[in-house]
Structure 1
């Protein structure tokens, strides 16, 4: 069955109306909620899994954050955001594990829809503004992990800052000896396409993100840092196969962030291979 034709123009934001800061703050709110609830629930794994199973047995609750399941082709994403944001507010701060699970589900789904419609589609004609959004969101999350997250979960934050030896896994080769030729090599356009076409090849590789510093842009090192993909999931959507990546930006203290393919492409295109 062919995908219905519709225009993405309905989602495009006119350049004069793009508020990079507001977009980054909204995305960061969903990410902060997801990170906080994920960490809290990790200390109650058995009950968490029971509650998640119960939630997804409820009629009308979709056990998948695929935007296509919530916003039909050509539909208005705000029809989801308005009630979802209100529901998140009602259970913030959460008082029970049940509310944690529900809030995590709402925030993860909202982030997926937000990324698709407000960023990928909304900024389709403004790649420079999308890059500014990505950088600002990273800055916000980096600061949050160093401050609020560290206060909420001091032991977890400390552990994530400690150097660790990667676990030995039978299906992953041991890291090769450091070689100057590979340490500084930039990720080429061909590398980017190969990685995104074969996401499993990203697992076990480390990169250093070093975006160019253009005139008028922030000249600090906030946009730079080592990162790697810890895992990815595959979904079958109406438009084909979609991937969601769990990405660790080490400057954020080791917390994993969910990213789609375009966000990983953004990181890869201005990265070098790390040791």
Structure 2
């Protein structure tokens, strides 16, 4: 993601005022809403698409969630986030499919603004605190998928578990003859060079599958991982200061639901991923 030409100092948070836990909890709230609504609406795809089209015909409703649409250059992001949070609160819990579509739109837009201004710009001088935030957000979301999400969508979680389940080995006494020795296929960790290459050429991301894992190479996959993920598409727009990309990312944990992410969020995923084999 290119850096706009205006002064970013207005968004930087002094180190002594950074509350990593509060930032992770706020981001996770948006992500939980997006995960729930995207999954629920996926069971009503035809009606969902009709409602989305109706929503975007309304005056003042923007058809995508690029943060620049909601926060003008140099403006205070809270001018958008505070009323957006109020709308989300009014729609929680959602009573209709229309509520779900609207809440999903506002949560995705709020996450986009929050990620850009509160994290990317806010923690610009504190990369160690940003990493703590990313790790904590991953922990919160992992626990959410194992508990709340699993209760809401047990069938979806069963499908995810089935994908991860290893093949049961044959019982002792019925072991086949060992196959001829051959090199094993090992998934390769995404390197820093790979990350830069993908983000500099986003078209190479589309169709490439990754496995997100916060474990070190050679260690077992843990429940804190997002699992298999891939980019389905991306959009390019010209902004003051350069070109920006918005990615549609499908996470295995969402059971097929896609979320909009900016370049920094995709970079975070790539940094803790291996190539799917």
* Same structural fold, with TM-score higher than 0.5 when normalized by the shorter chain: yes
Match of residue 191, structure 2, among 160, 185, 188: 188
Partners of 1:46 and 1:224 in 2: how far apart? 31
Q: Give the equivalent residue in structure 1 for 2:159.
A: 159
| Helix, strand or coil at the partner of 1:183 | coil
Alignment of 1:61 with 2:61, yes or no, is yes
TM-score scaled to structure 1, two decimals? 0.81
Q: What CA deviation, in whole Å up to 9, does each residue of 1:102-135 have, x standing for no partner?
A: 1111001001101100111001111111111111
Alignment TM-score, normalising by the size of structure 2: 0.81
Q: What CA distance in whole angstroms lies between the structure 2 residues aligned with 1:253 and 1:53?
A: 23
Q: Is structure 2 residue 243 aligned with structure 1 residue 229? A: no
Query: Structure 1 residue aligned with 2:200, among 184, 189, 197?
Result: 197
Tell me which structure has the larger Cα radius of gyration. Answer: 2
Structure 1, gaps ≥5 residues long: 165-177, 213-219
Check 1:242–1:19 CA distance in 2 against 1; reply closer, same or farther (3 A cut).
same
Q: Which residue of 2 aligns with 1:243?
A: 246
After superposition, the Cα gap between the structure-2 partners of 1:179 and 1:52, relative to the gap in structure 1 and judged at 3 Å, is farther
Aligned to 1:124: 124
Structure 2 residue ranges without an equivalent (≥5): 165-181
Take 1:123 and 1:179, find their aligned partners in 2: how far apart are those partners? 44
3-state DSSP class of the match of 2:163?
coil
Taking structure 1 as reference, are residues 95 and 109 closer, same or farther at Cα in structure 2, changes over 3 Å only? same
- List, as ranges, runs of 4+ consecutive aligned residues in structure 1 with deviation greater than 6 Å: 252-255
Measured in 2, the distance between the counterparts of 1:225 and 1:33 equals 17
Deviation at 1:240, TM superposition (A): 1.3
Greater RCO, 1 or 2 (C-alpha within 8 Å, sep 6+): 2
User: How many pairs align?
Assistant: 251
3-state DSSP class of the match of 1:163?
A: helix
C-alpha spacing 1:144/1:225, structure 2 compared with 1 (3 Å): closer
Q: Deviations over 1:60-100 (max 9, x none)?
A: 11111011111000000000011110111111001111111
